[in-house]
Amino acid sequence: MSFVKQLLLSAMIMFFAMNSYALRINVIDRDNLNTEQSQKLDQAITALNQVLNSVEFKNRVLTFSYQGKQEFVQNNGMSNQQVYDFLMGGAEEYPVQSEANQLADMRLTIYNPPRYRSQSSTLAFTSVDDPYLHIYKKYYQSATVAELSNTLVHEWTHKMGFDHDYDETPQRPYSVPYGVGDIIEELVSKYLGQK
């Protein structure tokens, strides 16, 4: 991370550390969603707005550990506190840098993957080249609200600049996208009273 980027990140984190958080999910676009799919998304948004702003979510992120150390893998040089503060600031980096506005800006599209991808275990993906979180239709249809919440946050953390190993390595579940996504799924499930 460049010195200037680190300096800006530190200043932003200090600013938000002094202010109370109220991160909100802001779905800017819903592409290819029917009424039933939109209702599921609305349920996920309602649950996420509660869970993301909960003390339990904050504590789970702050105490997240990998191999006995309180840290995420591929954390962009950030401590758990910095990861939490950065996420709660809502300054997406892709496809363009946005200001920290405490909004988790998401553009969502549902589609059928190409035939060569339909056999893979991939459920969704993001790209630095476009603003959308791409979720495969078959997965979206079968996912619970808690699973969908996990996927939305996982893909959004990519837009925030966090990455993970492409292959299923032992450390991949401890990356920010997987670690935070799994925390979200567990807490949303608890919030909704699901098993």
CATH T-level topology, domain 3-192: Collagenase (Catalytic Domain) (3.40.390)
**pTM score of the predicted model:** 0.86
Helix/strand number for the chain, H first, E second:
8, 4
Per-residue pLDDT at 16: 43
For the chain, which residues make up each domain, given as ranges? 3-192
Rounded CA-CA distance 78/173 in Å is 17
pLDDT for 9 equals 52
| Positions of the chain with pLDDT lower than 50, given as ranges | 7-8, 12-19, 195
Summarize pLDDT for 98-112 with one digit per residue, the tens.
Answer: 999 999 999 999 988
